[in-house]
Amino acid sequence: MTAHDWLAPTADEHIGWDVDVLYGPWPRHHRDAPLAEVRSVLACSPVARALALSTRGPLFDDRAGNAETVRDLAGCPELLPVGTVDVRDALTAEDRLDELSADGVRFLRLFTVEQGAEPGFPGYRHVVALALDRGFVLLHDGDPRRFGPGLTGRGADVVFLDLHAYLLADFLLLARTEPGFRATTRMLSGADSIERVVGSVGARHLVFGSRTPFMDISPQTLRLRHADITAADRAAISTENVEELLA
């Protein structure tokens, strides 16, 4: 048995997919997070694969950032590229989305908080309509109570990245009638938050997301590992729900 075998995660610890990984500069963080460092963090965790993108896209230039993400991750078999568009310049969104589609990118991350977008803004609505028409899965920041209602009834696959335990009841009301609405476990810090989602609407509505490298991944993996749910539910949250989106 090798040293690596001793460190391999058990079935309960294993995370097949992390949907919330970034690399590059981030102004509110104390330092930049180069791709090599992010890969090293993930390699020392129970996470096997992740959806990732360069912060150049949301912060500086969506076209250059998307190209950088696709180029950088071509040599990273454990990372799948995610694209983005600048909702402040929605007139360019069609070109960006077509470029992403041509590169085989399936996930589109919206940075409404960083870009100051509101659910009723024409640019935001335009971007969402174009993305859904092209079959993108949305990785959506912000408050699900504000952005969720405008996405209902559209057959959308949406992963809400910022669902806090305090907002859980409103998300569950949305998820009851929206099979494509999912949220990450990152901010579900209540003692029974994960169990409440599974018991109310089912494990299909949760996926694992860590926000590596800007948050510590260990407490989040432990929360899922020790949640009072079945092994099948844990496998769905940690791996299978994302694989369904990739199918």
pLDDT at 136 over 90: yes
Enter the pTM of the model.
0.94
> What mean pLDDT do residues 114-127 have?
96
pLDDT at 88 over 90: yes
> What rounded mean pLDDT belongs to the chain?
94
For residues 206 and 113, what is the distance between their CA atoms, to the nearest angstrom?
22
Q: Could you tell me which CATH number the domain at 3-246 has?
A: 3.20.20.140
Q: Which residue is it, tokens 């990273």?
A: 76
Ranges of each domain in the chain: 3-246
Give the pLDDT score at 5.
43
Confidence of residue 124 (pLDDT cuts 50, 70, 90): very high
For residues 72 and 240, what is the distance between their CA atoms, to the nearest angstrom?
26
Angle between helices 93-102 and 62-73 (to 10 degrees): 10
How distant, in Å, are the alpha carbons of 173, 176, 192 from that of 200?
Answer: 9, 8, 12
Burial label for 135, CB within 10 Å (0-12, 13-18, 19+), is: exposed
Helix (H, G, I), strand (E, B) or coil at 48: strand
For residues 158 and 3, what is the distance between their CA atoms, to the nearest angstrom?
39
